[in-house]
Amino acid sequence: MKEVLVLGAGYAGLKAVRNLQKQARDFHITLVDKNNYHYEATELHEVASGSQPKEKISYLITDVINPKKVTFIQDEVLKVTPEAKIAELKNTGVISYDYVVISLGFCSETFGISGAKENALEMVNVETAENVHRHILKMMTKYRETKDANYLRLVICGAGFTGIELAGAFVDEKKKYAEIAGVSPDQIEIICLEAATRILPMFNDALAQHGVDLLKKLGVNLMLGSMIKEIKPGEVVYTRGSEADALRYSIFAETIIWTTGVSGSPVMAQSGFDEHRGRVVVKKDLRDPKYDNVYVIGDVSALIEPETNRPYPTTAQIATRMGAHVAKNLGHQLKGEPLEDFNYKSLGTVASVGNTRAFGLVGKNAIKGYPASFVKKSIMNKSLVDIGGLKELLAKGRFDLYH
Ligand code: NAD
């Protein structure tokens, strides 16, 4: 019996397994993940702010796999050796495969900025998101004891989708933080530093400006054109405007969160794949160019978009679609049939700014406010049902669309 190994149970890997297990073919699937749960990575900002508990954005992997067809191993993947068709796991040791699907997801990218790893908080998985929330609560308590305003200041580094969604979630939770600190909500400062002079390059100027205005209206201090150079304990060092401007400025804060971008899992470099920032440029059928039995999907893959000749942005939406496509192509490959190219059209890109506000694009149409928030939650619900099935949708789905 052929062995299909799937590494990583994020959007891409778990979707591949869910679709593969429906195929009544003569193969066995092994799924490996370091956690025993799948989590909705697009909702980590809600756990970080405290607006959702981790249980609301995660579910057990064993709840959605068929044990007759899939063996789940909870372990950390250290390396894949495609020449030998083996993967090395931290505790289990070496396991072999006939086909492998690598879907190991993302990690935080510091771009070598001094002190970022040591002195800023990451928000890349459930633990780090929970850690952000715990940290904020602790800082609010410290304010009560010290009356030092640095404890009330929340600094977000980078205004990409992650930074903006986190800022929006903080706005929603400001009141709770203020109660703990014993201050008025206006005294909680939310600052977001962004190197670029405008946000979200995939949106046109008007839509991006709408986002800037919305954040401003909500009291977020969005500092565009601020390039972070160093993170010291309790201090963000940055320059303003052009690089030629050698003057350095500082913001002092006891909560600094790092959201300046992501790269693919370090396992890709460790395994000797031809990668850049942890991403491997894959063929149109989603396989590695060198190995016919190696599929690379989700945040560790870079699929070139024909119109722009640049890799598609890494999103949950494309990762889920890739997972489904790999299941289809593996089915073909196991039967000796020709593989299909992956075709992708984004359903839309929406940034939430708290629970009831959002802005983004559906097709070429800009959407804002409540309708955008509705679309964002519908995308979330679709992802839940796509991967977790109806059971997870009913347990975790967002039905609070109209409050
Ligand atoms: P990103 O790369 O999209 O954004 C990071 C931001 O940080 C950029 O605006 C960049 O200019 C800024 N930055 C980088 N270095 C900086 C520095 N030294 N000083 C100041 N600013 C700096 O990263 P992300 O927001 O984490 O998103 C990662 C991926 O996930 C993206 O592909 C994104 O599209 C996707 N995502 C999508 C959604 C959604 O669809 N709602 C939500 C979250 C993430």
Q: What value does the mean pLDDT take over residues 274-288? A: 97
Which residues, at least 6 apart from 176, have a Cβ–Cβ distance to it below 8 Å?
A: 50
Evaluate whether 16 touches 110 at the Cβ level (below 8 Å).
no
**Confidence band (pLDDT; 50, 70, 90) for 243?**
low
pLDDT-derived band at 403 (thresholds 50, 70, 90) equals very low
Residues with CB under 6 A from ligand 1: 42, 111, 113, 157-163, 165, 193-196, 227-228, 259-262, 313-315, 349-351
Residue 308 scores a pLDDT above 90? no
Angle between helices 11-20 and 316-334 (to 10 degrees): 40
- Which pairing describes strands 37-39 and 365-368: parallel, antiparallel, or unpaired? unpaired
For residue range 59-76, list pLDDT tens digits in order: 999 999 999 999 999 999
Average pLDDT over the chain reads 93
pLDDT at 244: 61
* 64-68, 296-300, 363-367, 389-393: range with lowest mean pLDDT: 389-393
Q: How far is the CA of 157 from the centre of ligand 1 (A)?
A: 10
Which strand (E) or helix (H) includes residue 106?
Answer: strand 106-108
* pLDDT band with cut points at 50, 70 and 90 for residue 352: very high
Mean of pLDDT values over 41-64: 94
What is the spatial distance between Cα 399 and Cα 397, in angstroms, rounded to a whole number?
6
Q: pLDDT digit string (tens) for 96-138?
A: 999 999 999 999 999 999 999 999 999 999 999 999 999 999 9
Asked if residue 158 has pLDDT above 60, the reply is yes
- Tokens 């052009």 belong to 242
Instruction: Take atom 15 of ligand 1 and give the residue whose Cα is closest.
Output: 260
Three-state SS for 214? helix
Closest C-alpha residue for ligand 1 atom 35: 315
Give the dihedral of Cα atoms 75, 77, 81, 82; nearest 10 deg. 90
Q: How far apart are CA 323 and CA 15, in angstroms?
A: 5
User: Which pTM value belongs to this model?
Assistant: 0.94
Q: What does the buried/exposed string (b/e) look like for 232-256 if buried means 16 or more CB atoms within 10 Å of the residue's CB?
A: eebbbbbbeeeeeeeeeeebebbbb
What phi and psi, each to the nearest 5 degrees, are found at residue 199? Answer: -100, 165
What's the confidence (pLDDT) of residue 399?
Answer: 59
